[in-house]
Amino acid sequence: MNDETPRARLRFANAAISGIVTTVGEKTVRFEEEGPALGLEPGEIARLQRAIGLDSRQIVAGGETTVDLCEASARRLLAGLGVAAETVTGLILVTQTPDHSAPASAIALQHRLGLPVTSMAFDVRLGCSGFVYGLALAYSLVEAGLERVLVAVGDVASRFVDAADHAVAPIMGDAGAVALVERRPSESVFELYSDGSGGRALYIPNSGIRVDPADEGRASVMTMDGAAVFNFTLQRVPDLVTGIVEAAGRTVDEIDYFVLHQPNKYILKNIQKRLRIAEEKLPMATQSVYGNQNSASIPGTISGFLGDAYSNRRLVSAFAGFGIGLSWGACVVETDRIYAPPAFVGLE
């Protein structure tokens, strides 16, 4: 694509993040312990630990859902900021694991949080790009007149994988994160992309109304074409990141942190080398500690590893999400000493 190609580029001057809270599942699963049950030999377990950073992940221990995790995060966020629920008039829930097919889980979450009936609430069905997309929507609503919008993102991903699939199951973690976007002067730019021709690279067959003949009899669990996902990532993400930095009128050196979706350390290391970004500016450990948190992985990385920096400094950050859809997006945003406590484990 060249500069003349029409694109979904959004610029904002009056919206900013005030705080981020992430809640992860309370059960810790260690790869070295689950590997044998997946049919993996000790040597293969050690190789995967080294190559892609598989170590531990956090998943729900019982019947907790994405809405439960996001409710816990939202309550902690509003309390930490001293913001009354009655003053929030927008709620966006980005998830692939809603409580029900209908009605929208965001509306249930609005009620549970005590947001007023004069607020708007809706679901967005996206995965790894979901935080950037959700932020873009929230910034749009604030720029258009709302004062405060909650962006809730996450999945109980352990529920949509085959527990015996050693290619997918050991990767997934469960998390629900919430960010509060408020009206205040702040410059930001977003770019959003989609390519449905790659939809089967990450895919849950027989999970809706349509049943394709090729999927008859298949279980409704996540399937992954690892090679296609890897190629997509290396083809799209470096240009995505350099493009959003240029669109923001910045240089790489002017970006304090590059917080990317966290599929695994191997992919992130390849991106970091291609972009020549200093390692301390691009965190890579989220998947190794919490698992792949899907749409919650960007806020989850901030909560897990960067909370002190975001709480105590004015920062310019590049966020980038990419994956299932295929869908990808990035933004450059300014934050100024936001509420960003360490990740919470469990609902209590």
User: Which residues does the annotation mark as catalytic?
Assistant: 128, 261, 292
In the chain, which ranges are E strands?
8-12, 15-24, 27-30, 56-59, 90-94, 120-124, 148-156, 174-183, 188-194, 202-203, 223-224, 257-260, 314-323, 327-336, 344-345
Measured at the alpha carbon of residue 176, what is the angle toward residues 153 and 146, in degrees to the nearest 5?
A: 45
Give the C-alpha separation, 45 to 40, whole Å.
6
Q: Is the CB of residue 188 less than 8 Å from the CB of residue 139?
A: yes
Q: Is the CB of residue 139 less than 8 Å from the CB of residue 257?
A: no
Measured between its terminal Cα atoms, the distance across the chain in Å is 48
Residue 78, judged by CB atoms within 10 A of its CB (0-12, 13-18, 19+), counts as buried
Rg of the chain over all Cα atoms, to the nearest angstrom: 19
Q: How far is residue 262 CA from its own chain's centroid?
A: 8
